Amino acid sequence: MSAAASYPTHWRRPPAFFGTRRRYWLFIGGVILYFAWSLSTLNIDVERMLAGLPRALDIFARMVPPDFSKGQLLLKGMLESLQMAFAATLIGAILAVPLGIAAARNIAPRPVYLAARGFIVLNRTFHEIIIAIFFVKLFGFGAVAGLLTLALSSWTFCGKMLAEDIENVRMGQIEAVRATGAGFAQTVVFSVVPQVLSRTVGVLIYRLDANVRHSTVIGIVGAGGIGQTLSASFSRYDYDFAAAILLCIAALVALGEWFSDWVRRKLR
């Protein structure tokens, strides 16, 4: 390599996302300016924040010791939350299978794909809380509204995850099964299902865990479960009972997380 000396010795990675270095620095400058402007207009009142501190201490003081004397009420709320979470996950999972297949670009016909994706996007536009408020208006206070909320969001969530897993399968394996003369359903059973099964079970367990957490929250807008009990105790300044509820929710969520971790470790 006698000509080595004439080659450049300096090289830098071309800017990937912004195209040019100028645009990159313009973007960084813009972010800094926006942040400064936001801080100056938000009226962050340090005095008010400090005034909140003694009130927080007061609430915490009244939370101790937690009051477990209304165990019946507590247990009923927890069970309702759990039942909501389990039933909603099951309903969502069953409905998610056809939705996931329909929303997979690589195996569904184009119009079916577009309709299914549209449905998913529309559903995911609204947070669970908003859907819960709507369902409480439709079906009244209680667990029915909560169950329907969680089932609807589990349906679209699991459907979307399943569709994305199906879109990532190896097409060669599908092609090979198709080439044997298998029909559509057989192709799904013999080449798509084996490729997505373990990931899908993982998603379901994760969703069950998430539903347990969500079920404790949506009760606050009246959709049943322990959240409704919690919300009622707060509005009655019943802080020691609220503390007992919070402890139980924490224990339940931790248990759910541990269970979902354990199952997904087993799946690998």
Partner 1 sequence: MNTATAAGAAPVGAPASALLRVQDLVKVYPGGKRALDGVSFSVERPEVIAVIGSSGAGKSTLIRCINRLVEPSAGRVWLKETEIAGLPWRELRRVRRRIGMIFQEFNLVERLTVMENVLSGRLGSVGFMASLMRRFPPQDVSGAFALLDRVGLDGYHDTRADALSGGQRQRVGIARALMQRPDLLLVDEPTASLDPKTARQIMRLICALAQEHNTPALVNIHDVALAQSFASRVIGLKAGGVVFDGPPAALNAEALTEIYGAEDWSQTIRRVSDEDDE
Footprint of partner 1 on this chain (CB under 8 A)? 170, 172-173, 175-183, 185-186, 189-191, 194-195, 197-198
Give Rg (Cα) of the chain: 26
How far apart are CB 49 and partner 1 at their closest, in Å?
A: 55
Kindly compute the dihedral angle of the four CA atoms of residues 105, 106, 111, 116, in this order, to the nearest 10 degrees.
Answer: -40
Q: Tokens 């998430």 label which residue?
A: 210
| Closer residue to partner 1 (CB): 118 or 194 | 194
| Closer residue to partner 1 (CB): 51 or 189 | 189
How far apart are CB 138 and partner 1 at their closest, in Å?
A: 38
How far apart are CB 187 and partner 1 at their closest, in Å?
A: 8
How far apart are CB 190 and partner 1 at their closest, in Å?
A: 5
Under DSSP, is residue 60 helix (H, G, I), strand (E, B) or coil?
helix
* CA distance linking residue 86 with residue 211, whole number of Å: 8
CA–CA distance from 102 to each of 134, 156, 163 (Å)? 27, 12, 8
* CA distance linking residue 215 with residue 221, whole number of Å: 11
| Closer residue to partner 1 (CB): 38 or 106 | 106
Under DSSP, is residue 15 helix (H, G, I), strand (E, B) or coil?
coil
163-196 in b/e form (b: 16+ CB < 10 A) is: bbbbbebeeeebeebbeeebeeeebbebbbeebb
| Closer residue to partner 1 (CB): 1 or 179 | 179
Half-sphere exposure of 130 (CA within 13 A, CB side): 5
How far apart are CB 250 and partner 1 at their closest, in Å?
A: 38
Q: Tokens 């009051």 label which residue?
A: 67
Structure tokens at 187: 């192709």
| Closer residue to partner 1 (CB): 111 or 183 | 183
Structure tokens at 219: 């009760």
| Closer residue to partner 1 (CB): 59 or 182 | 182
| Closer residue to partner 1 (CB): 74 or 169 | 169
How far apart are CB 106 and partner 1 at their closest, in Å?
A: 14
How far apart are CB 184 and partner 1 at their closest, in Å?
A: 9
Q: What is the DSSP letter of 102?
A: H
